[in-house]
């Protein structure tokens, strides 16, 4: 038996033609073999087609997955950009920007980074548990344990942050326990006095030790005439409205920054605050601190140093008295000017009230006229049987529409009248203020808080 097989090739398919030669053309066995060959070819072709379709579908699916992934990443990027403003760091940054002191800002950022380290440690612990096959509950427990911050740990971190940014001294921090209470020993007391003349004057100490009745009572006894121990001086603290004994260097710092003043043991002419007329204690002299804008008693060498640096001035008592007399005269003039300005305001308020009363009457008259017109329309409808309810309703609507128009006209007229009145007032006040334009001692300015003009002393 001879089987002749001819092959022909297409671009993507292989076609096999099987023929029988000679006597085999009518041989049943050969015919059966031929049928099986054809069936096998058919199966192979179908299988190839299915594989091709599956391959193409897989390619299409992978392409769509890639497109979907790209779109998802793009959406996530846009989402992250949208919520970046509300991220923990940016939100905290907006809070810190409101803080004025740069050192305090740095402490806040240290605290934020400390918190972030704890959060990152928790996340790493959570991922490690999940990667090793742990349950979600175990991962959460691992996160909480790694991210936990104990109170003592937080206190210690804050102490370090304050020391790092010159807001506290390390040797000072270690003298307090975790509750913020001072550890009372002879050594710690002596060490603390290196930073405070008397640690009991520190508000933080008093707040942490409310049961220290002796300290509270002793501090309450300090007066302008208290005799402090050697090296200390009585200082009046502006913010606390009290007197304390502090070292001279601390007192000078408070004076320079406008935190307090040394009043001296007596004053001339019963003047309450320090002036060039004040009689300071021995070794002290009166100086005018430019930063605080106040007089105070300081050491003579400190006064000389401040004057040389240009941060203070020494004012002559005689010139001070003459200035006070002049200031008193200027004060009288300012008082008279402000009284005149108040008269302008009172006159405006009176005319505004008269104007309001005038237009309130116009409103009332218009309303009364409208009501009378409605009553007349109803009366006419009753007396005229041929007049329908629809005609009455239309007439009443016309009356009310006319009233609304009249009311609007009155309102516009009132607004225009008030503007004219306000313009006349401003013009009169301006003319009055212009008369003091070149005055060497007084000027008239607009007080935005009170929305009115005020006379003040020229600098």
pTM above 0.95, yes or no: no
- At residue 191, the pLDDT reads 54
Which residues of the chain have a pLDDT value below 70? Answer: 1-26, 82, 166, 168-210, 212-222, 231, 239-240, 257, 263-273, 318, 321-329, 459
Taking the C-alpha atoms of residue 263 and residue 435, their distance in angstroms, rounded to an integer, is 42
Say what the pLDDT of residue 11 is: 38
What is the DSSP secondary structure assignment for residue 229, as one 8-state letter?
A: P
Task: Answer yes or no: are the C-beta atoms of 340 and 432 closer than 8 Å.
Answer: yes
**Element of type H or E holding 55:** helix 28-83
pLDDT of amino acid 301: 87
Please tell me the predicted confidence (pLDDT) of residue 174: 62
C-alpha span between 191 and 268 (Å, rounded): 41
Residue 304 has which token pair? 């000389």
Q: What is the pLDDT of residue 269?
A: 33
* Domain map (residue ranges) of the chain: 3-82, 88-151, 222-315, 326-457
pLDDT in tens, 80-130: 776 777 788 888 888 888 887 777 888 888 888 988 998 999 999 999 998
- Residue appearing with tokens 């920007």: 97
311-350 exposure pattern, b = at least 16 Cβ within 10 A, e = fewer: ebeeeeeeebeeeeeeeeebeebbeebbeebeebeeebee
């Amino acid at each position: 038996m001879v089987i002749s097989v001819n092959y022909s090739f297409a671009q993507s398919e292989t076609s096999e033609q099987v023929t029988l030669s000679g006597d085999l053309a009518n041989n049943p066995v050969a015919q059966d073999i031929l049928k099986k060959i054809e069936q096998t070819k058919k199966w192979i072709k179908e299988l190839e087609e299915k594989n091709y379709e599956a391959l193409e579908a897989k390619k299409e699916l992978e392409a769509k997955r890639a497109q979907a992934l790209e779109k998802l990443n793009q959406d996530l990027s846009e989402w992250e950009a949208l919520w970046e403003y509300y991220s923990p760091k940016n939100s905290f940054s907006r809070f810190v920007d409101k803080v004025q002191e740069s050192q305090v800002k740095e402490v806040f950022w240290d605290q934020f980074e400390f918190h972030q380290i704890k959060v990152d440690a928790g996340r790493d612990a959570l991922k490690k548990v999940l990667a090793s096959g742990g349950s979600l509950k175990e991962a959460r427990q691992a996160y909480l344990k790694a991210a936990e911050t104990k109170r003592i740990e937080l206190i210690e971190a804050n102490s370090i942050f304050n020391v790092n940014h010159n807001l506290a001294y390390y040797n000072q921090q270690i003298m307090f326990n975790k509750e913020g209470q001072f550890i009372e020993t002879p050594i710690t007391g002596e060490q603390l006095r290196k930073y405070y003349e008397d640690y009991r004057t520190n508000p933080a100490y008093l707040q942490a030790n409310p049961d220290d009745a002796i300290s509270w009572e002793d501090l309450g006894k300090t007066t302008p005439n208290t005799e402090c121990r050697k090296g200390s001086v009585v200082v009046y603290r502006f913010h606390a409205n009290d007197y304390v004994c502090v070292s001279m260097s601390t007192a000078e710092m408070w004076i320079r920054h406008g935190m307090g003043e040394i009043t001296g043991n007596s004053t001339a002419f019963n003047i309450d605050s320090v002036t060039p007329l004040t009689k300071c204690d021995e070794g002290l002299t009166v100086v005018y601190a430019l930063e605080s804008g106040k007089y105070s008693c300081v050491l003579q060498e400190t006064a000389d140093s401040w004057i040389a640096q240009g941060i203070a001035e020494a004012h002559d008592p005689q010139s001070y008295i003459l200035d006070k007399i002049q200031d008193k005269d200027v004060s009288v003039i300012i008082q008279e000017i402000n009284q005149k300005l108040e008269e302008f305001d009172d006159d405006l308020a009176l005319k505004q009230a008269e104007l309001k009363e005038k237009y309130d009457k116009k409103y009332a008259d218009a309303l009364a006229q409208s009501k009378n017109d409605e009553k007349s329309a109803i009366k006419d409808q009753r007396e005229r049987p041929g007049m329908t309810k629809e005609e009455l309703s239309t007439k009443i609507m016309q009356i009310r529409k006319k009233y609304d128009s009249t009311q609007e006209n009155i309102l516009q007229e009132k607004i225009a009248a008030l503007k004219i009145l306000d313009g006349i007032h401003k013009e009169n006040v301006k003319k009055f203020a212009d008369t003091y334009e070149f005055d060497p001692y007084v000027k008239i300015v607009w007080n935005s808080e009170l929305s009115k003009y005020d006379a003040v002393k020229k600098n």
